[in-house]
């Protein structure tokens, strides 16, 4: 992933995925892993004692600063994407498909019942106080890893680390120059392309239908909050640019279930660089940026 040689390159499993930390300082990776562990204990829908699980059960509570911030960013990006990104999808993703545990395909009636609890109007935030409509379930799977990468990069920068890479599955943040390879969605052990970044702070997020699905890729984890059905257009969506893995993670989730026209319109409007690979093999890409090149 990086062009540099690292004294400390370690991996652990947190937030349901493999977390990789590459840094020349052997003392920093433990701090990053601890951060991911703390965030998982706060933001997980699947851990009964997490802050989000307690909010899902109680419907109302005061939030810690980290949880408040990720919910604020979620609502911000939901507005940006006109509701295509929606963290109240949990009544569908968690409540019917059960992604992550005891996975199954819901029938039409189950979906219709669950969709009644989906919508950004179900979640209200006033300062640090959150209220959630009865039956609604928050699922931060479309933004949590990007948010964690941002907090990890912030932690490293505060420790004066000048070169580092933090990777949480498809969400990757770099401090200093780095190479990041994008998987071929049709042959996931192969490389579609590699980007070389010279940016002081590089962020990239890839969302695809080839990693999490039930039975086949047509039943993948990228769910439309309006229909409850899986996306069927994109094999892979990769967004990249200056910093802000939180935004790229959430917007990649939203773009994955948009029409091609709406996706490109949004990305061009927000000046986000992209590679969009359709299920038929067609590739659409932005013009790129001076500090990031293909290898």
Domains 8-36+143-294 and 45-132 equal at CATH topology level: no
> CATH assignment of 8-36+143-294?
3.10.520.10
User: Domain spanning 45-132: which superfamily?
Assistant: ApbE-like superfamily (1.10.3980.10)
pLDDT in tens, 184-199: 999 878 999 999 999 9
A 10 A CB-CB count for 229 gives 14
Instruction: Kindly give the pairing relationship between strand 164-168 and strand 171-175.
Output: antiparallel
DSSP string covering 21-57: EEES-TTTHHHHHHHHHHHHHHH-SSSTTSHHHHHHH
pLDDT in tens, 196-253: 999 999 999 999 866 665 555 766 678 889 998 887 799 999 999 999 999 999 999 9
pLDDT at 8: 60
Helix and strand counts by DSSP (H, E) for the chain: 8, 16
pLDDT in tens, 26-81: 778 999 999 999 999 999 999 999 999 999 999 999 999 999 999 999 999 999 99
Question: Does 217 or 280 have the greater pLDDT score?
Answer: 280
Averaged pLDDT for residues 95-118: 86
DSSP string covering 133-200: -TT-B---TTTHHHHHHHHHHHHHHHTT--SEEEEETTEEEEESSEEEEEEETTEEEEEEEEEEE--S
Distance of CA 237 to the CA centre of its chain: 12
Q: Enumerate the domain spans of the chain.
A: 8-36+143-294, 45-132
């Amino acid at each position: 992933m990086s062009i540099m040689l690292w004294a400390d390159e370690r991996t652990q499993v947190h937030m349901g995925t493999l977390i990789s930390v590459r840094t020349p300082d052997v003392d920093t990776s433990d701090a990053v892993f601890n951060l991911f562990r703390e965030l998982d204990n706060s933001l997980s829908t699947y851990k009964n004692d997490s802050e989000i699980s307690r909010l899902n059960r109680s419907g109302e509570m005061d939030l810690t600063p980290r949880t408040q911030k990720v919910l604020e960013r979620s609502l911000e990006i939901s507005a940006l994407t006109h509701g295509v990104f929606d963290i109240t999808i949990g009544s569908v993703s968690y409540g019917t498909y059960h992604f992550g545990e005891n996975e199954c395909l819901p029938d039409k009636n189950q979906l219709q019942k669950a969709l009644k609890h989906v919508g950004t109007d179900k979640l209200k935030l006033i300062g640090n106080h959150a209220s959630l409509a009865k039956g609604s379930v928050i699922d931060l799977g479309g933004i949590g890893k990007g948010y964690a990468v941002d907090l990890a990069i912030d932690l490293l920068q505060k420790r004066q680390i000048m070169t580092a890479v933090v990777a949480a599955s498809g969400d990757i943040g770099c401090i200093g120059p780095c190479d990041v390879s994008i998987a071929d969605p049709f042959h996931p052990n192969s490389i579609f392309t590699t980007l070389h970044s010279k940016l002081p702070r590089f962020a990239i997020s890839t969302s695809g239908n080839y990693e999490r699905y039930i039975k086949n890729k047509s039943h993948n984890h990228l769910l439309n909050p309006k229909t409850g059905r899986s996306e069927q257009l994109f094999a892979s969506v990769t967004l990249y640019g200056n910093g802000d893995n939180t935004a790229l993670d959430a917007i990649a989730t939203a773009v994955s279930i948009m029409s091609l026209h709406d996706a490109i319109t949004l990305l061009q409007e927000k000046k986000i660089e992209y590679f969009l690979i359709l299920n038929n093999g067609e590739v659409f890409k932005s013009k790129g940026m001076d500090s990031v090149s293909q290898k």
